[in-house]
């Protein structure tokens, strides 16, 4: 660490944010590579659309179930060690998918991938809380969340090309190997603020004065979040149920794009596989644009003195309504129009992705961790349910009912924010 006399603060926090950005890219790369491989492995392993839907959902079973435990682990083990362990273990599970012999083994390896990725977003939150003052935190979160869209937008064509030349087994082996290598790089370069020799005292003071927490381990409030009364409180609030339902509906569209979208383009729209890879990247760019626009608009409304309810809810409600436009793809046959409806829908998903802000705005102060775990658990139930339902609805060779299902959930999510969430006020502690 540099000496206190150096008054010009360093910017090491941005380097750490860049490392987290890459983590998120790899995280979503290993969630979505199955969607690219689906057409090839489905034929080779003789999987029905219902079985494929189950495989798509397997990640979500363990990922959702372990959200709260994953958050507790993230509070107790430092990000440097825990993230490295997570990267290595979920990457090994990804490599193993390349050696799957049938439905059972592939399903099991996807379960493992979801389990080992579960602590990743709680770790991200801890890192940003440590390295960034409060007034920079929303932008930091938006930037690393954008990694899931930017990475997939630019890497989807590369994944398609990789499968063409190396097969679906090679696709899993290569993408998993990337994570194994990056885990080493992460461990070598990441440090907490007080452990990094590159950060000077001026930057540490800047972070601490702005509300950054790095002088003590970030743990839950001394008050236990496991009392029966606490669980009752976070499950009995109509306002919190509004955001829980909204997050489920938001993730429904997200998981369509992370699982069934390439299969939809190739098998149900008859597009060339390589061409579909390039076209599939367009909605991810649209989602990234929606996310960045939503964050800017929401913060701008706050700066202009608008109410928190208006500033935070408006972009999310508009985004969820726009996500319902996916149904429009049922009524067009031109490829450009199909991609346009898909892009508009995913743009809306990006706009609504600032929804995590409601965890800190609404939950009782001593139950932020518990509320966040339940919020993420509810949202990720969509990663289990939606791929299975789509597989069943599309089993007869007609994908139109599946798109109606996904689009309807988007509208339900918007209604949840309009009619259930109401005025943004913190739920009072009991």
- Mean of pLDDT over the chain: 85
Q: Which of 281, 253, 238, 240 is nearest to 353 (CA)?
A: 253
Can you tell me the distance from the alpha carbon of 27 to that of 89, in angstroms, rounded to the nearest whole number?
A: 12
Q: Which of 62, 64, 53, 71 is nearest to 89 (CA)?
A: 62
CB under 8 Å to 176, separation ≥6 — which residues? 30, 91, 92, 93, 94, 95, 96, 97, 98
pLDDT digits (tens, 9 = 90+) for 78-124: 889 999 999 999 999 999 999 999 999 999 999 999 999 988 887 88
pLDDT of residue 343: 95
pLDDT digits (tens, 9 = 90+) for 29-60: 898 888 888 878 888 888 888 898 899 889 98
Question: At residue 295, does pLDDT exceed 90?
Answer: no
Question: At residue 1, does pLDDT exceed 60?
Answer: no
DSSP 328: G
The band of 223, judged by pLDDT with boundaries at 50, 70 and 90, is very low
pLDDT of residue 302: 75
Both tokens assigned to 126: 């801890």
Which of these ranges, 210-224, 232-246, 379-393, has the smallest mean pLDDT? 210-224
Can you tell me the distance from the alpha carbon of 76 to that of 82, in angstroms, rounded to the nearest whole number?
A: 9
State what percent of residues in the chain have pLDDT above 90: 39
The band of 250, judged by pLDDT with boundaries at 50, 70 and 90, is very high
Q: How many CA atoms lie within 13 A of 414 on its CB side?
A: 19
Both tokens assigned to 270: 């008859």
Query: Which has more confidence, 240 or 129?
Result: 240
Both tokens assigned to 204: 């540490």
Question: At residue 3, does pLDDT exceed 50?
Answer: no
The position carrying tokens 């988007």 is: 410
Q: Which of 44, 66, 60 is nearest to 110 (CA)?
A: 60
Residue 270's region, left for phi above 0, alpha for psi from -120 to 50, else beta, is: left
User: With contact defined as beta carbons under 8 Å apart, do 294 and 315 qualify?
Assistant: yes
CB under 8 Å to 274, separation ≥6 — which residues? 160, 161, 164
Query: Which has more confidence, 90 or 64?
Result: 90
How buried is 261 (Cβ within 10 angstroms: 0-12 exposed, 13-18 middle, 19+ buried)?
Answer: buried
Can you tell me the distance from the alpha carbon of 243 to that of 132, in angstroms, rounded to the nearest whole number?
A: 26
Question: At residue 2, does pLDDT exceed 60?
Answer: no
Can you tell me the distance from the alpha carbon of 276 to that of 156, in angstroms, rounded to the nearest whole number?
A: 9
Query: Which has more confidence, 236 or 322?
Result: 322
Domains of the chain listed by start with CATH number: 9-219 (1.20.1250.20), 225-430 (1.20.1250.20)
Both tokens assigned to 216: 């003590």
The three-point CA angle 323-146-404 to 5° equals: 15
pLDDT of residue 195: 86
Q: Which of 141, 89, 150, 81 is nearest to 114 (CA)?
A: 89
The band of 215, judged by pLDDT with boundaries at 50, 70 and 90, is low
Query: Which has more confidence, 197 or 233?
Result: 197
pLDDT of residue 274: 62
User: With contact defined as beta carbons under 8 Å apart, do 320 and 411 qualify?
Assistant: yes
Query: Which has more confidence, 215 or 20?
Result: 20
The band of 365, judged by pLDDT with boundaries at 50, 70 and 90, is low
Q: Which of 333, 328, 272, 320 is nearest to 294 (CA)?
A: 320
């Amino acid at each position: 660490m540099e000496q206190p006399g150096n008054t010009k603060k360093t910017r090491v926090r941005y380097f750490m944010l860049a490392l987290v950005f890459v983590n998120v890219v790899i995280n979503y790369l290993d969630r979505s590579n199955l969607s690219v491989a689906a057409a090839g492995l489905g034929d080779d392993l003789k999987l029905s659309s219902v079985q494929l839907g189950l495989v798509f959902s397997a990640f979500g079973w363990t990922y959702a179930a372990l959200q709260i435990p994953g958050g507790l682990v993230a509070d107790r083990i430092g990000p440097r060690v825990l993230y490295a362990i997570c990267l290595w273990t979920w990457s090994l599970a990804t490599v193993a998918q390349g050696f799957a012999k049938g439905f059972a083994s592939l399903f099991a390896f996807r379960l493992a991938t979801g389990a080992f990725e579960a602590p990743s977003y709680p770790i991200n939150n801890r890192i940003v809380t440590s390295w960034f003052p409060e007034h920079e935190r929303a932008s930091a979160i938006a930037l690393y969340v954008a990694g899931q869209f930017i990475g997939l937008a630019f890497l989807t064509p590369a994944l398609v090309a990789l499968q063409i030349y190396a097969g679906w087994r090679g696709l899993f082996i290569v993408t998993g190997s990337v994570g194994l290598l990056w885990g080493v790089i992460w461990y070598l370069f990441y440090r907490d603020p007080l452990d990094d020799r590159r950060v000077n005292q001026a930057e540490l003071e800047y972070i601490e004065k702005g509300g950054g927490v790095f002088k003590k381990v970030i743990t839950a409030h001394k008050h236990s979040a496991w009392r029966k009364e606490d669980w009752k409180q976070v499950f009995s609030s109509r306002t919190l149920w509004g955001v829980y339902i909204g997050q489920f509906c938001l993730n429904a569209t997200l998981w369509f794009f992370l699982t069934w979208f390439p299969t939809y383009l190739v098998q149900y729209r008859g597009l060339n596989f390589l061409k579909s890879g390039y076209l599939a990247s367009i909605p991810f760019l649209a989602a990234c644009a929606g996310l960045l626009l939503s964050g800017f608009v929401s913060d701008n409304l706050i700066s202009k003195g608008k109410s928190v309810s208006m500033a935070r809810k408006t972009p999310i409600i508009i985004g969820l309504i726009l996500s319902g436009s996916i149904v429009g793809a049922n009524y067009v046959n031109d490829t450009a129009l199909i991609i346009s409806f898909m892009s508009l829908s995913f743009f809306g998903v990006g706009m609504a992705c600032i929804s995590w802000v409601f965890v800190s705005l609404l939950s009782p102060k001593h139950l932020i961790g518990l509320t966040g775990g339940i919020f993420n658990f509810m949202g990720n139930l969509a990663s289990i349910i939606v791929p299975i339902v789509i597989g069943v609805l599309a089993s007869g060779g007609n994908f139109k009912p599946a798109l109606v299902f996904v689009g309807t959930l988007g509208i339900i999510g918007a209604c949840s924010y309009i009619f259930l969430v109401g005025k943004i006020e913190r739920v009072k502690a009991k």
